[in-house]
Amino acid sequence: MFLVAGLGNPGNKYSGTRHNVGFRLIDNLAARFSASLKSGKGPYLAAKMVYNSVDIILLRPTTFMNNSGNAIQQALNWYNIPAESCVICYDDLNLETGALRIRRGGSAGGHNGIKDIIQKLSTNQFPRLRIGIGNDSREGQQVKYVLSPFGQKEEVIIEEAMNEAAEAVLTLAAEGVEAAMNKFN
């Protein structure tokens, strides 16, 4: 079994913002596989799907981004999935809009949601799929930037990136981190 968690902030106020590309990816996968997200046994929405004989749990925390750790930890415990079989999908200011990067593990890289997950899981050894949102903000304006929507030209790029990110996640679940890194990095 494999868990795919997309990070974001709950509520209509944040829907469509740069910070919510993780949620958007989960919605993309759920739509592809006609999976319905429902309340889980913790602060998250979850749906089950199957790809290439691999059971995959899609997960959207219902907590705010910076408190994602509890949702991830509870879901991993509930489904009895090790951290190494959980890919966290989230936005990255340091990547060009639409760029994807897969990593096996490592530091939080300044991302507070990942920092919280590392703290709650007591490990940094879980795969990540970072989705570039660009960084067209002035110094000190990053929060405002990540909570803003994409422009029209960026939206086209992000829509393509969501489809590629979905393929990356499916490859990661079915073939492993190395195969996904070789194909999508």
* Token code pair at residue 57: 């749990």
Q: How far is CA 41 from CA 37, 61, 63, in A?
A: 12, 11, 13
**Three-class SS state of 98:** coil
- Burial level of 48, CB count in 10 A (0-12/13-18/19+)? middle
Q: How far is CA 97 from CA 36, 87, 114, 134, in A?
A: 28, 20, 20, 4
Active site residue 111: no
Out of 19, 60, 128, 130, the active site residue is 19
- E strand or H helix at 54, and its extent? strand 54-61
* Token code pair at residue 35: 């999976």
Q: Catalytic residue positions?
A: 19
